[in-house]
Amino acid sequence: MSDYVRYFVETFLGYFSEPKKVRKEKRHQKRAGRANFSFRWFGLLPLALRQLFHKK
């Protein structure tokens, strides 16, 4: 239990000891690395439907 509390406190203090700009930049990079909403939730289905209905 003590190790868990120690880890939590170190993580918490490490996060808040960083400047605000660094935290924002990390958050922005994390969001930029994710796939878009429809792909994350529904996989390839939206892409398949889009290609089906928007044939050239």
Encode pLDDT of 11-37 as tens digits.
999 988 989 999 999 889 988 888 777
pLDDT for 25 equals: 92
Gap between the Cα atoms of 54 and 41, Å rounded = 21
Number of structural domains (the chain) is 1
Model pLDDT, residue 53: 87
- Report residue 23 as tokens: 């935290």
Beta carbons of 34 and 40 less than 8 angstroms apart: yes
Please give the pLDDT value at position 56: 58
Does the predicted model carry a pTM greater than 0.85? no
The pLDDT, as a whole number, for residue 3 is 92
Q: What is the domain range of residue 33?
A: 2-53
Stated length of the chain: 56
- The pLDDT value recorded for residue 35 is 79
